[in-house]
Structure 1
Amino acid sequence: MSPKRIYDDAPKYLVPPDDPTLIQSIQETRDLLENHFNSVDLTSLYLPNDVDKLRSCDFEVRRYLFQTNLNVNQAVQMIKDRLTWRKEMSLDTLRYQKFPIEFYQSGGIFEFKHDNDGDPVLYVRSKFNVNIEILSKPLRQFLIFFMDQMDQRFSRERSWGLVFDAQGFGWHNIDFDFLHLIIKILKYYMPWSVKYVIIYEIPWFLESIWKGVQHFIPEDGKRLIRVYNKKTIGETIDPMNMPQVIGGLSKENHIFIPEGVEPATVIGKIELGLNDEEVNRIKKHLAKLDKEMGELIKV
């Protein structure tokens, strides 16, 4: 994507990466951060790779200067909060193999092809987000892992798209904590990474709820949100680059199963610390998702 596309609809304070004032603000932010790093035990507070990336990648600093209207002190605080969050989430230890194979087989979260600008797209099938306590934490961690993979891989403004497929969404899928988590991540921990958030094929009964939810979304965030259906999605993503399972025309398989992943019977006990009864509950739910996915693929 060209720089012009990035900044066209941005707030007036946003400036290109080569702006002298921005470059100076980046250096001031780094100086304050270095003073902080020298006064604390780095290894106990933050992930070493995160600190190194702040020192070498301007985007990691620039994104927070944009987010705070070029306020250096506020940017420093937000960066420190992000570093703390990443440490608490143990994002340095998350791997594809940390999650059960059923998560991948269900096709609830996956990266697939690219949009009209050539940027990658992450899909989240909302019907597979169920408010079941035993699954909430691992499923949310699964989504955060995928979002983090996209964020870290590109490290530039508006580098990837996020699509929430609302087809088949029911009342049992409504989870405001989950929605709040996504908004919080995009605003505080991965700002300026996502180029748009598409709500795809929203059911009629959710339209009133959606209107209410928008009141809690910051103005900058609202600029990212697009509501599309099968007739209008082509404005951003060519249907030929969308999986058939959500109504696209691509014949490629959207399900990716990494090497070395294990079933829930293994991962649930080793990685999640669950007992046999809890693992069986997860297996039953994921088996239901697998069946649904199989039926959808045959359509």
Structure 2
Amino acid sequence: MSLEMDAANSGSSIFNNNNNNSDDNLKCGKLKGVNSTKQSKKSDGKQDSSEKYQEKIATIRSMFAKEYESHPELYDECDHRKVMEKDFWVSRFMADPSESVEDSYEKLRSTMEWRRSFGVNSFDPFTIPKEIYQIAALIPYEKDRQGRPTLYIRGKIHRKIEQLEDKIKHYLVNVIEQLDSAKESRESWIIILDASDANFFNTDLDMIMFLFGTLRNRYPRGVATALLYGLPWLLGAFANMVISFLPSDSVAKIKFGGKKELNELIDESNLPDWLGGTCTVNYRRVPKGAISCYEMAEKEFNMTKADVDKLIKPFIQYLKPELCVEVDP
């Protein structure tokens, strides 16, 4: 009797446990099934999104191919190849997912037309006087801690010179083009805007707006960040005015900082000497055969030596031709 009761109780216990386990397994099975379905749908959603993204690239590419076929004189052949062969040169104009295909295409098309009319692919280094190279105010340099190339713009060396303004803009775009073309991928390089020791004589609103406008409209998604380094408090109001003119997506890339922020971005071994770095790579590179500002001023602007002396006086201390190295153009 006792054995029967024990057996019954034991059987009942085992049976109940099996039932409970079955219920639990069934519930887990349902949960797993639901999760699997959700994951599958999520995965399908990602795939669908990726497919739509690629379809948009293909559509924009096809639209530009037709445009190029109809108006080849408006575009450079090498730029046409970029659009046809490299997804980044299409996707960089698709940053806003809410934009229509037509809007993204027009951004790309207008940029390709601008590149031809501005002469991005036909820059002549000999249109820049050698003194501009010697003062080293615009320097593509060594990589940051994430392996991204850097561009240094030294504010205290810049002065607005009307005769050279257009040339400087072309020189600036050429340097940007070199950095952007190095990887041709999203947020692949950075800018250090060195404002240390700058003053009101160095401010140039037109050039600053040209820089940020070019980066935003012609090289979107190229720059990861722009560090405004060592801004003197006297130029704080000017900096705020500039920022007020910029769209929010450009402002989001600008960071203010000093030595700490600079060292967080770039290792000391890759920093140039004037910023306390130990890198020995020569940044004063002058194309072989570059002519002097005196020769250029006489030929192109009919200026006298005395006129040029006045213009270059603020730059004399930065020339240092003995530290320069000649490079093949």
Deviation at 1:197, TM superposition (A): 0.9
Helix, strand or coil: the match of 2:285? Answer: coil
Deviation at 1:23, TM superposition (A): 0.9
Q: Render the CA deviation track for 1:42-88: whole Å, top value 9, x for unaligned.
A: 12x11121112111111110100115645311111111211121122
Helix, strand or coil: the match of 2:173? Answer: helix
Q: 1:126 to 1:67 in 2, by over 3 A?
A: farther
Alignment gaps of 5+ in structure 1: 1-14
Are the aligned partners of 1:103 and 1:286 in contact in 2 as well (CA < 8 Å)? no
Q: 1:154 to 1:21 in 2, by over 3 A?
A: same
Task: Tell me the matched-pair count.
Answer: 276
Q: 1:166 & 1:76 partners in 2: Cα distance?
A: 37
Residue identity in the other structure for 2:311: H
Helix, strand or coil: the match of 2:256? Answer: strand
Q: Which residue of 1 aligns with 2:77?
A: 48
The reply to whether residue 135 of structure 1 matches residue 161 of structure 2 is no
Structure 2 residue corresponding to 1:122, chosen from 151, 156, 166: 151
The reply to whether residue 207 of structure 1 matches residue 236 of structure 2 is yes
The reply to whether residue 159 of structure 1 matches residue 188 of structure 2 is yes
Deviation at 1:268, TM superposition (A): 4.8
Q: Which residue of 2 aligns with 1:285?
A: 311
The reply to whether residue 90 of structure 1 matches residue 116 of structure 2 is no
Q: Render the CA deviation track for 1:80-102: whole Å, top value 9, x for unaligned.
A: 21112112211222033332211
Q: Which residue of 1 aligns with 2:250?
A: 221
Deviation at 1:162, TM superposition (A): 1.1
Q: Which residue of 1 aligns with 2:134?
A: 105
Structure 2 residue corresponding to 1:197, chosen from 198, 216, 226: 226
Helix, strand or coil: the match of 2:142? Answer: strand
Task: Give the structure-1-normalised TM-score.
Answer: 0.83
Identity over aligned pairs, percent: 23
Are the aligned partners of 1:115 and 1:236 in contact in 2 as well (CA < 8 Å)? yes
Structure 1 residue corresponding to 2:69, chosen from 30, 33, 38: 38
Residue identity in the other structure for 2:63: L
More divergent stretch after superposition (67-76 vs 284-293): 284-293
Deviation at 1:25, TM superposition (A): 0.7
Q: Render the CA deviation track for 1:5-30: whole Å, top value 9, x for unaligned.
A: xxxxxxxxxx99x9222111100101
Helix, strand or coil: the match of 1:115? Answer: coil
Are the aligned partners of 2:140 and 2:179 in contact in 1 as well (CA < 8 Å)? no
Q: 1:177 & 1:29 partners in 2: Cα distance?
A: 33
Q: 1:68 & 1:255 partners in 2: Cα distance?
A: 42
Deviation at 1:115, TM superposition (A): 0.4
- Detail structure 1 runs of 4+ shifted over 4 Å in the superposition: 67-70, 266-270
In terms of fraction of residues, the more helix-rich structure is: 2
Are the aligned partners of 1:169 and 1:203 in contact in 2 as well (CA < 8 Å)? yes
The reply to whether residue 23 of structure 1 matches residue 49 of structure 2 is no
Q: 2:294 & 2:96 partners in 1: Cα distance?
A: 43
Q: 1:184 to 1:76 in 2, by over 3 A?
A: same
Q: Which residue of 2 aligns with 1:64?
A: 93
Helix, strand or coil: the match of 1:119? Answer: coil
Q: 1:290 & 1:241 partners in 2: Cα distance?
A: 27
Q: Render the CA deviation track for 1:110-140: whole Å, top value 9, x for unaligned.
A: 1111101011101111122212212222222
Q: Render the CA deviation track for 1:225-264: whole Å, top value 9, x for unaligned.
A: 1111113211211232111123333344321223333322
Residue identity in the other structure for 1:52: R
Q: Which residue of 1 aligns with 2:17?
A: none
Q: Render the CA deviation track for 1:163-189: whole Å, top value 9, x for unaligned.
A: 111022111122211121112101111
Are the aligned partners of 1:240 and 1:248 in contact in 2 as well (CA < 8 Å)? yes
**Bigger CA radius of gyration:** 2
Q: 2:281 & 2:64 partners in 1: Cα distance?
A: 46
Helix, strand or coil: the match of 2:301? Answer: coil
The reply to whether residue 231 of structure 1 matches residue 260 of structure 2 is yes
Are the aligned partners of 1:127 and 1:173 in contact in 2 as well (CA < 8 Å)? yes
Task: Give the structure-2-normalised TM-score.
Answer: 0.76
